[in-house]
Structures are given as structure tokens and as C-alpha cells.
């Protein structure tokens, strides 16, 4: 059962990474327009180069 | 669930109608916000953005499809009125939103706060659940204790952070010695934590850390959905820019100065330019013009105005500049007296108790009593306070209203989303439930069933010369009848004749010279025509007999469909208008409305609606004018179009964003379905309690059973709500 000593911290760390990533997406306004973003991906504008 | 639902929106429609303009520094770039009720696909996004970005002065335009609005960053001299025609030309309806009010809601702090708490609760519950699953699948002795201690170390700080909204609500209810849904929630969470800690310390078998966290997670999810729905509606409904003038031009010793309306006093002389709205009640001192009173009284025919006529705040000056002497300001204006009517009428609506409140009223005391009884029973039976406390905690956790907390918000979110896609904003939380009960629909005429803009009806009756002369004269004026005439002529391919020396005679019409002869287009009395009961403009060419151009108020798109749908659904449709008998009768006939009332004063409308309510009817009022506000507030539920006056929009529960009226009938259907789903959800939650509670009381509930039951019921309830979409 010594493996638990590694596995538990690892699982907590990975969960923490997920939480931090989520906090980042909230802070950078990535949930402002879910419906629009879902549609924008289908548009072929700016396909050749990124929007300046 | 109920304590946080207070909203400051309906405080005083009069104050909102004439807001004091906040002093804002002029920014380098202006932010313009536009509401676009008609957009729905990726082509719309790219079209709107392309059109806006192509407009000179626009730096960046971005469409938000979820909120159906566009944010435009532009040079300081660009205003929304410049951009709206661009979009309308491309086929998209657009309305201006107030960017000042918008900036307040954009950094949506409360929503983010809830989302963070939700994320923390979710993260913690997943980790603790992982440890709990190991315990349930057979971890024993030291391993089990260690898992429990780790769970405690995650759960305690996580709950201290994420469950704060519940703690705050429960405390505010308890402080005034009342019970709300949050009291049993908080009690369950705290009791679960305390007994679990105790058990862990004594290396007991059962710990409920996972249950406390999942409970918090599901309840926060419900809270967040609820918040999202209301926030989206609230921001969009309140940011539609006020139509009222916050500023007026005061004449002091012949010099014009711009002042805030709140600084005007009785006796001030005010200049109102053509197209301007009266800021105060007053009497005309000089100038001749015509007044559009449709928003106040529902009359479509402009009224002739000259010195000596009394005017009320809210009327629109059409043709010539007017100087008025103020007779009433602020609270004494007719606009504010109307607001008082609203305040009286509104008290009736607050009597409605939502389904959620009804459920909470039954639920909260029941749960406490049940839990206390099982504690007492087990204490007497076994004499062991630890067992008794464990069972009491299990009862509280099992009965905890996860499904109940999701039952209403999940459905309202789905229903509001569906209605929003059709262009309707639900402003009030219980509006859907009330809309479902409607059996009588009262419509206002001008501006609601009709678009409020005149439409030429007898173009074909006139000779080409007459039309050419008329359109030349009409082009020179901004009077609504002239604008409509000129537009119809253009649409029919008629080129304006060469009419020279065209002058507009305020209050009468336009006059010019055509082939050396005097030609006039205007009021009957001025052109030699005969006064009729229909809206008309007369054309007189020198010695010829004058001819009349007849106008009728154009029907709003979807009006006929909406009325038909209501009649087909077996609802009574009533038309109440302040307009003249003839105009109301012909419209009622056209739409097939049997019951109609004309020349109704504002308080008549409200009284009529109240009468209907007293007969036990549930009235849906659809109206837009100031004369409708009292009736809108008195009705069981009310809808106003986005073009309505501020006061009317504030008084109504649902705002129609687009021009089309047909979604109203759909809204009723959706509301009925939504209410059905809410009741179903309550039934699902009850059935689950009936099965699980005896287990808990008998002391057979394990943390595994609690977790399973809680998740299953919450997911069932959410899926049931999704069927609405």
C-alpha cells in the first residue's frame, strides 16, 4: 500500500491543475459567449491567418 | 432560495424614466453596445461584424451570440444612431443599449463568484468521492482512517469557501426568525461535517464528507443556473437606452442653455425642437407645431399645437420649434402621477407565491421535525447519542433538497433559453409560472398591435402628377405622415416633381411653387379639404379641388398570428385603446377581436384589468405606452415590446426584443410546458424522498446510498428539464 503515498498526492495535484485551469478560463472571459464560440469555429474567416 | 430574490428594478418607473445623466469623462474611443434580437447563426455573426467593421470610424466590432448583442469600439464621433441604419440595411434589427449601464454588469462579479465556488466544490467533491469509493470498496482500519482524514482536510476548507452563499442566506433568514430553504441545507452540511469528524476521530465506519460536498455542488449548480437566467434578462432589459430626455433647453433672456431636467423649476421657458420630447408639463407660449401623443394616450392622429395649449411630459413635438412655460416639474408631472398609479397597482402582484416558495414552506419545517424525531427516537431506543446523531445527520442529508433546488432553476433556464432564442426576455423569476395561468389577453393598440407608424392606404387613387407633387412636398418635411408618403412614393417608383421654394409651415404642412402655381400639402383646414375621421394629409394644387392621402396605422408583424393563436387556444382577447372609436373598431374587426374599448384613459385601463382580476381571471397585458403602465403593473403578467417607453418596460415581466409579435403566443405554450415540468420535478423529488427517508430513519442509510440517491434524483430532474429545449 506504499504506492498510495505517491498516488494520493498525484491525484490531488492533477485535480488542482484542473481547478487552476478552470479559474484561468473564467478570469479570461472564455464563458462570455458559449453559443457564439460554438458557431465561430465553423466560419472560414481567418482560416489562413489569425485575426490581427 | 427566496431571500436573495429581491430586485431593485421596479422601484419607481418615473425616476428611471428621467434619469439624471451621470457625469462621465469623454473617453478616447467610445464603446457602443447594440442589441440584435434577430441574429441566430454563424452567417449572422460574420455579416454583422463585416458590416460594422466596414463602417468608417469603427475600430473593432464583436458579436456575442449568447446575449444577442454587439460591442463596438469606435472613434469618439461615431454614435449608435449612425450604426443602426447600417445594420438595418443589411437586414438586422438593432437597438441601442446604454454602455454606461452595461459596464456595470459586464464585470459580472456575482456570477463569477458563484462559478468559482461551484468549481471549488466540484473539484473537492471529485477528489473526496475518489477516496470514498476506496472506502466503500473495502479499505479498512488505518487506510480507512487515513482516507477519512484526507477527505476532512479537503472538505472543511472547500465547504468553508463554497457554501458561503447558503450560510449567508440562512443567517439572514434566522436573524429575522424565519425559515427558508437554506436553513435545512446549512444544518445538513454542518451536521454532516460534525458527525463525520467525530466518527473519523473515533475511527468509525461511516463519514459523510463526500455527501456534504456533492450536496454543496448540486445546490450551487442550481443557484448558478438561476442566477445566469436572471442576470442575462436583467442586463438586456434594463440597458435598452431610455427614450426620455434627461436634458432640456432653457431660455434665459433669449439665450439658450442646456440644463438637466431635474434642475427645471415652474415658470421656466423651455425650447422644444422638432422631434424632441416634452421634458415637463407646461403651456405653449409661442410657436406652432403638431404633437404626437400616442405614447401617452394611444391617439394616432397628431394634435395641432399653438400658443395656449397645455402639453404633458412625454409628448413628441413634430414639426416646428415650440417654447413652453413650465407648469409642473418632477413629481407633479403627469408622467409621475402615472408612476403613482403603477405603485398602487403593483402591490397586487406581490401576492403571488412561486411554486418554489410553496414547496419550501412545506418542506423546511417537515425536514427539521423528521430529523429531530429520529434523533429523539434513536436516543430513547439505544441510549447512545453518537448513533442518534449519526441517524439524524443521515436523515437531513438524504432529505436535503438537491433535486428540489434544481427543480425550478433547471426548468426556467431551459425555458428562458428557448424563449430568448425567439426574442423574448423573461425579466421576472415567477413570470413563466404566472404566464402559464393566463386565460385573458388584453392588448393595447397603438405601438403594440400596430407599429405606431402611419402607412399610406390610397396610393392608387391618385394621378401621377399629384403623386409627384405630393412626394416632392413630402420629401421636405420630417412629419411622420410626410415621411411615410415619401417612402411609399419612392417604393412605387415615383420621381418627385420639381417644386420650387418649398417651405415647411410648422403645424400646418409644406408649401411650394409648381409651374408658377402655389401647391400645399398638409392639414385639411389649411389646404381647403374636409376634416374626416381618418388620418389624412391633403394636397391642394392652386385652383384644383384638394385631394386626400389617407393613412392607417400599419399592423405590427405577427400581430394577426398572435391574436389568432390566442383565440385558437381558447383565451379571451380584449383590445383597450386610448384612440378614437373608429380607429379601434376597424382594427378589432380586422383582427377578429370581439371585445374592444376605445378612448380609454390610463386609469380606465388599469381599472378594467383589475375588474377582470377580481372576476378571477388571470390577465396577460401587452402594452407599450405610458398610458398602459398602470394596467401592465395591475395585470397578472405583462409583456411590452422593446420599443416601449422605459416606464412600461420596467412595469412589465417580459420584454419582446424583436418587432414581431408572434412569439407571445409561443411564450404561453412554453410557460405551460415549463410549469408542468416544474411540477413533475417536484413529484420526482418527492418520490425519491418517500423511498429514501424510511431507510434513513431506520438507520439503514450508508454514505453510498446517500450519494447514489442524491446524484440520481438531481440528474433525473435536470434531464427532465432539458426536455423543454
What number of CA atoms fall less than 13 Å from residue B683's CA on the CB side? Answer: 7
- Average pLDDT of the residues of chain B: 80
Determine whether the interchain pair A43/B123 forms a contact, defined as Cβ–Cβ distance below 8 Å.
no
CA distances, B246 to each of B259, B577, B627 (Å): 9, 28, 20
**b/e sequence B285-305, b meaning 16+ C-beta within 10 Å:** eebbbbbbbbbbbbbbbbeeb
B33/B20 Cα distance (integer angstroms): 20
Q: How high is the pLDDT of residue B335? A: 62
- Res. B162: pLDDT tops 90: yes
Q: pLDDT digit string (tens) for B487-528? A: 888 888 888 888 888 888 877 888 888 888 888 888 877 887
* Residue among A19, A33, A36 whose CB faces B123 most closely: A19
E strand or H helix that includes residue B46 = helix B42-54
Q: How high is the pLDDT of residue B59? A: 86
* Residue among A4, A12, A35 whose CB faces B127 most closely: A12
- Res. B100: pLDDT tops 80: no
A10 interaction partners in chain B (CB closer than 8 Å):
none
Report the catalytic residues of B: 444
Rounded average pLDDT over B424-429: 78
E strand or H helix that includes residue B224 = helix B209-239
List the domains of chain B with CATH numbers.
Answer: 26-107 (3.30.70.100), 247-332 (2.70.150.10), 423-451+556-668 (3.40.50.1000), 452-555 (3.40.1110.10)
Chain A contacts in chain B segment 576-605 (CB below 8 A): none
B588/B555 Cα distance (integer angstroms): 11
Closest CA–CA distance from residue B393 to any residue of chain A (Å):
28
Q: pLDDT digit string (tens) for B271-285? A: 887 777 787 888 888
Nearest CA in chain A to B417: A35
Q: Are B291 and B315 contacting, i.e. CB atoms less than 8 angstroms apart?
A: yes
Determine whether the interchain pair A43/B127 forms a contact, defined as Cβ–Cβ distance below 8 Å.
no
B120 interaction partners in chain A (CB closer than 8 Å):
19
Determine whether the interchain pair B46/A43 forms a contact, defined as Cβ–Cβ distance below 8 Å.
yes
- Res. B598: pLDDT tops 70: yes
Chain A contacts in chain B segment 103-142 (CB below 8 A): 112, 115-116, 119-120, 123, 126-127, 130-131
B66 interaction partners in chain A (CB closer than 8 Å):
32-36
Rounded average pLDDT over B305-322: 81
C-alpha cell at B601: 384613459
Q: pLDDT digit string (tens) for B656-708? A: 877 788 888 888 889 999 999 988 988 888 888 888 888 888 888 788 888 88
- Res. B173: pLDDT tops 50: yes
* Residue among A11, A26, A35 whose CB faces B130 most closely: A11
pTM: 0.72
3 state DSSP class of B623: coil
C-alpha cell at B73: 469600439
Determine whether the interchain pair A36/B65 forms a contact, defined as Cβ–Cβ distance below 8 Å.
yes
Determine whether the interchain pair B42/A42 forms a contact, defined as Cβ–Cβ distance below 8 Å.
yes
Q: Quick check: B442 contacting A, CB < 8 Å?
A: no
The model's confidence at residue B160, banded by pLDDT at 50, 70 and 90, is: very high
Alpha helices in B313-439 (DSSP H): 334-346, 355-382, 385-399, 402-421, 431-436
Determine whether the interchain pair B130/A43 forms a contact, defined as Cβ–Cβ distance below 8 Å.
no
Give me the percent of chain B exceeding a pLDDT of 90. 6
Interface predicted TM-score (ipTM): 0.84
Nearest CA in chain B to A46: B46
B193/B208 Cα distance (integer angstroms): 7
Closest CA–CA distance from residue A40 to any residue of chain B (Å):
6
Q: pLDDT digit string (tens) for A1-40? A: 678 788 888 988 988 898 899 889 888 878 878 888 888 8
B123 interaction partners in chain A (CB closer than 8 Å):
15-16, 18-19, 22
Closest CA–CA distance from residue B666 to any residue of chain A (Å):
22
Q: How high is the pLDDT of residue B163? A: 92
Q: How high is the pLDDT of residue B99? A: 60
* Residue among A4, A11, A39 whose CB faces B65 most closely: A39
Selection from A47-51, B290-294, B613-617 with the highest mean pLDDT: B613-617
Determine whether the interchain pair B66/A33 forms a contact, defined as Cβ–Cβ distance below 8 Å.
yes
Q: How high is the pLDDT of residue B102? A: 56
- Res. B340: pLDDT tops 50: yes
Q: Are B55 and B86 contacting, i.e. CB atoms less than 8 angstroms apart?
A: yes
Q: pLDDT digit string (tens) for B287-302? A: 888 887 776 666 667 7
Closest CA–CA distance from residue B723 to any residue of chain A (Å):
19
Determine whether the interchain pair B63/A36 forms a contact, defined as Cβ–Cβ distance below 8 Å.
yes
Nearest CA in chain A to B50: A45
Q: How high is the pLDDT of residue B120? A: 92
Closest CA–CA distance from residue B122 to any residue of chain A (Å):
9
Rounded average pLDDT over B423-434: 81
In chain A, the N- to C-terminal Cα span, in Å, equals: 55
A45 interaction partners in chain B (CB closer than 8 Å):
46
Do β-strands B595-597 and B310-311 pair in parallel, antiparallel, or remain unpaired? unpaired
B178/B569 Cα distance (integer angstroms): 42
Rounded average pLDDT over B144-163: 92
C-alpha cell at B54: 466596414
The model's confidence at residue B337, banded by pLDDT at 50, 70 and 90, is: low
Q: Could you tell me which residue, B371 or B346, shows the higher pLDDT?
A: B371
The model's confidence at residue B379, banded by pLDDT at 50, 70 and 90, is: very high
* Residue among A1, A18, A40 whose CB faces B123 most closely: A18
Q: Compute and round to an integer the Cα radius of gyration of chain B.
A: 32
Closest CA–CA distance from residue B715 to any residue of chain A (Å):
22
- Res. B406: pLDDT tops 70: yes
Determine whether the interchain pair B65/A15 forms a contact, defined as Cβ–Cβ distance below 8 Å.
no
Rounded average pLDDT over B405-432: 82
Rounded average pLDDT over B246-265: 76
B126 interaction partners in chain A (CB closer than 8 Å):
15
- Res. B635: pLDDT tops 70: yes
Chain A contacts in chain B segment 67-86 (CB below 8 A): 67
B441/B401 Cα distance (integer angstroms): 36
A26 interaction partners in chain B (CB closer than 8 Å):
112, 115-116, 119
Q: Comparing B45-49, B340-344, B463-467, B659-663, which segment has the lowest mean pLDDT? A: B340-344
Q: Could you tell me which residue, B8 or A8, shows the higher pLDDT?
A: A8
Cell 460574420 belongs to residue: B46
Determine whether the interchain pair B65/A23 forms a contact, defined as Cβ–Cβ distance below 8 Å.
no
Q: Number of residue pairs across A and B with CB atoms under 8 Å?
A: 50
Rounded average pLDDT over B117-126: 91
Closest CA–CA distance from residue B42 to any residue of chain A (Å):
5
The model's confidence at residue B29, banded by pLDDT at 50, 70 and 90, is: low
Q: pLDDT digit string (tens) for B193-209? A: 998 999 899 888 888 89
Give me the percent of chain B exceeding a pLDDT of 70. 86
Q: How far is CA B230 from the centre of its chain?
A: 10
- B355 Cβ partners below 8 Å, 6+ apart? B408, B433, B675, B678, B679, B682
Amino acid at each position: 500500500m506504499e504506492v498510495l503515498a505517491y498516488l494520493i498526492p498525484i491525484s490531488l495535484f492533477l485535480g488542482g491543475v484542473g481547478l487552476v485551469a478552470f479559474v484561468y478560463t473564467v478570469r479570461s472571459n472564455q464563458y462570455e459567449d458559449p453559443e457564439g464560440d460554438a458557431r465561430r469555429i465553423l466560419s472560414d474567416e481567418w482560416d489562413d491567418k489569425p485575426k490581427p | 432560495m427566496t431571500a436573495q430574490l429581491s430586485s431593485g428594478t421596479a422601484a419607481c418607473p418615473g425616476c428611471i424614466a428621467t434619469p439624471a445623466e451621470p457625469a462621465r469623462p469623454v473617453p478616447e474611443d467610445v464603446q457602443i453596445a447594440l442589441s440584435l434580437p434577430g441574429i441566430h447563426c454563424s452567417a449572422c455573426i460574420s455579416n454583422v461584424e463585416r458590416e460594422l467593421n466596414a463602417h468608417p470610424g469603427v475600430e473593432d466590432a464583436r458579436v456575442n451570440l449568447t446575449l444577442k448583442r454587439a460591442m463596438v469600439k469606435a472613434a469618439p464621433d461615431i454614435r449608435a444612431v449612425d450604426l443602426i441604419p447600417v445594420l438595418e440595411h443589411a437586414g438586422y434589427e438593432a437597438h441601442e443599449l446604454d454602455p454606461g449601464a452595461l459596464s456595470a454588469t459586464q464585470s459580472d462579479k456575482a456570477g463569477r463568484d458563484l462559478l468559482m465556488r461551484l468549481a471549488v466544490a466540484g473539484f473537492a467533491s471529485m477528489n473526496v468521492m475518489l477516496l470514498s469509493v476506496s472506502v466503500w470498496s473495502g479499505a479498512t482500519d488505518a487506510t480507512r482512517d487515513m482516507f477519512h482524514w484526507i477527505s476532512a482536510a479537503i472538505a472543511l476548507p472547500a465547504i468553508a469557501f463554497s457554501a458561503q452563499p447558503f450560510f449567508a442566506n440562512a443567517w439572514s433568514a434566522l436573524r429575522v426568525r424565519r425559515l427558508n430553504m437554506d436553513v435545512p441545507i446549512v444544518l445538513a452540511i454542518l451536521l454532516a461535517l460534525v458527525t463525520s469528524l467525530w466518527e473519523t476521530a473515533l475511527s468509525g465506519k461511516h463519514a459523510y464528507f463526500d455527501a456534504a460536498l456533492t450536496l454543496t455542488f448540486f445546490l450551487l449548480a442550481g443557484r448558478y443556473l438561476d442566477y445566469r437566467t436572471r442576470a442575462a434578462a436583467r442586463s438586456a432589459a434594463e440597458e435598452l437606452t431610455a427614450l426620455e430626455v434627461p436634458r432640456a433647453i432653457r431660455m434665459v433672456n433669449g439665450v439658450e442653455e442646456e440644463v438637466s431636467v431635474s434642475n427645471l423649476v415652474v415658470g421656466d421657458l423651455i425650447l422644444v425642437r422638432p422631434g424632441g420630447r416634452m421634458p415637463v408639463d407646461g403651456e405653449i407660449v409661442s410657436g406652432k407645431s403638431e404633437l404626437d401623443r400616442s405614447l401617452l394616450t394611444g391617439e394616432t392622429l397628431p394634435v395641432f399645437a399653438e400658443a395656449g395649449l397645455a402639453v404633458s411630459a412625454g409628448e413628441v413635438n413634430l414639426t416646428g420649434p415650440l417654447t413652453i412655460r413650465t407648469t409642473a416639474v418632477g413629481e407633479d408631472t403627469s408622467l409621475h402621477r402615472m408612476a403613482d398609479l403603477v405603485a398602487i397597482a403593483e402591490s397586487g402582484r406581490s401576492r403571488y407565491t412561486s411554486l418554489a416558495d410553496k414547496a419550501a414552506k412545506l418542506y423546511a419545517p417537515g425536514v427539521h421535525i423528521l430529523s429531530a424525531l429520529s434523533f429523539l427516537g434513536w436516543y430513547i431506543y439505544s441510549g447512545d447519542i453518537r448513533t442518534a446523531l449519526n441517524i439524524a445527520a443521515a436523515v437531513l442529508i438524504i432529505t436535503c433538497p438537491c433535486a428540489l433546488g434544481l427543480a425550478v432553476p433547471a426548468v426556467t433556464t431551459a425555458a428562458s433559453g428557448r424563449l430568448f432564442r425567439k426574442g423574448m426576455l423573461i425579466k421576472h423569476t415567477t413570470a413563466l409560472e404566472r404566464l402559464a395561468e393566463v386565460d385573458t389577453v388584453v392588448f393595447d393598440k397603438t405601438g403594440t398591435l400596430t407599429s405606431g407608424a402611419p402607412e399610406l392606404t390610397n396610393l392608387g387613387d391618385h394621378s401621377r402628377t399629384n403623386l409627384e407633387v405630393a412626394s416632392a412636398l413630402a420629401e421636405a418635411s420630417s412629419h411622420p405622415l410626410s415621411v411615410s408618403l415619401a417612402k411609399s412614393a419612392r417604393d412605387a417608383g415615383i420621381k418627385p416633381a420639381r417644386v420650387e421654394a418649398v417651405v415647411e409651415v410648422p403645424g400646418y404642412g409644406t408649401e411650394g411653387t409648381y409651374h408658377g402655381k402655389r401647391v400645399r400639402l398638409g392639414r385639411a383646414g389649411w389646404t381647403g379639404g374636409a376634416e374626416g375621421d381618418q388620418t389624412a394629409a391633403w394636397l391642394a394644387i392652386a385652383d384644383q379641388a384638394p385631394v386626400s392621402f389617407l393613412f392607417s396605422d400599419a399592423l405590427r408583424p405577427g400581430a394577426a398570428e398572435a391574436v389568432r393563436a390566442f383565440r385558437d387556444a381558447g383565451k379571451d382577447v380584449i383590445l383597450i385603446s386610448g384612440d378614437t372609436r373608429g380607429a379601434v373598431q376597424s382594427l378589432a374587426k380586422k383582427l377578429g377581436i370581439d371585445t374592444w374599448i376605445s378612448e380609454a384613459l390610463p386609469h380606465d385601463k388599469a381599472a378594467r384589468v383589475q375588474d377582470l382580476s377580481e372576476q378571477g381571471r388571470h390577465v396577460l397585458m401587452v402594452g407599450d405606452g405610458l398610458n398602459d403602465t398602470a394596467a401592465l403593473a395591475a395585470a397578472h403578467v405583462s409583456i411590452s415590446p422593446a420599443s416601449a417607453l422605459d416606464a412600461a418596460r420596467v412595469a412589465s415581466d417580459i420584454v419582446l426584443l424583436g418587432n414581431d409579435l408572434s412569439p407571445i403566443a409561443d411564450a404561453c405554450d412554453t410557460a405551460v410546458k415549463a410549469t408542468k415540468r416544474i411540477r413533475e420535478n417536484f413529484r420526482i423529488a418527492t418520490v425519491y424522498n418517500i423511498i429514501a427517508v424510511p431507510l434513513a430513519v431506520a438507520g439503514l442509510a450508508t454514505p453510498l446510498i446517500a450519494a447514489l440517491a442524491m446524484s440520481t434524483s438531481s440528474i433525473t430532474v435536470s434531464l427532465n428539464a432539458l426536455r423543454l429545449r
